[in-house]
Amino acid sequence: MIKYALACQYEHAFEGWFGSSTDYDDQQARGLLECPICASKSVRKQIMAPAVAGTKAQGSAEERAKARLMMMEAVRQVRTHVEDNFDYMGDRFADEARAIHDGRSEERGIYGEATAAEVRSLVEDGVPVAPLPPKPPEKDELN
């Protein structure tokens, strides 16, 4: 995964995670990138320093716990956004994703379930798919 610092034409700064640099380029070319603050489709990469893993300790236990909670919240927000804004297809997901890709169905965001074989077939055929983050545990379920 690659994390890019992004900004829209109104200088709203945000981050985006992509499977590869070509995924970013493809989504940008297809107009799929959008500012989460103002919905502008004019999005660009910002200059950022690369993250280099080192051998130093990665912060205190408290800092690591805080980072873990922040990541869980980000995952929850992604999932909530998808559930609130995309069409749920259930086990018809693979068929509908292929229909959208082939132009037989209207272009829109969808989510649902697919078998490993269905996902492999979609990826092999160039249909863009990504796993939906799992629901994080509720705060009262945490240790």
pLDDT digits (tens, 9 = 90+) for 38-73: 888 999 998 876 666 555 556 788 888 888 888 888
Q: What is the pTM of this model?
A: 0.53
For residue 110, name the pLDDT band (cuts at 50, 70, 90). very high
pLDDT at position 12 over 60 = yes
SS (H, E, C) 61-115: HHHHHHHHHHHHHHHHHHHHHHHHHCEEEECCHHHHHHHHHCCCCCCCCEEECCC
Asked if 79 and 109 count as a contact pair (C-beta separation under 8 A), the reply is no
State the Cα–Cα distance between residues 143 and 140, nearest whole angstrom. Answer: 8
Q: Tell me the HSE value of 20 on the side-chain side, using a 13 A CA sphere.
A: 4
Structure tokens at 137: 């545990």
* Mean pLDDT along residues 15-41: 88
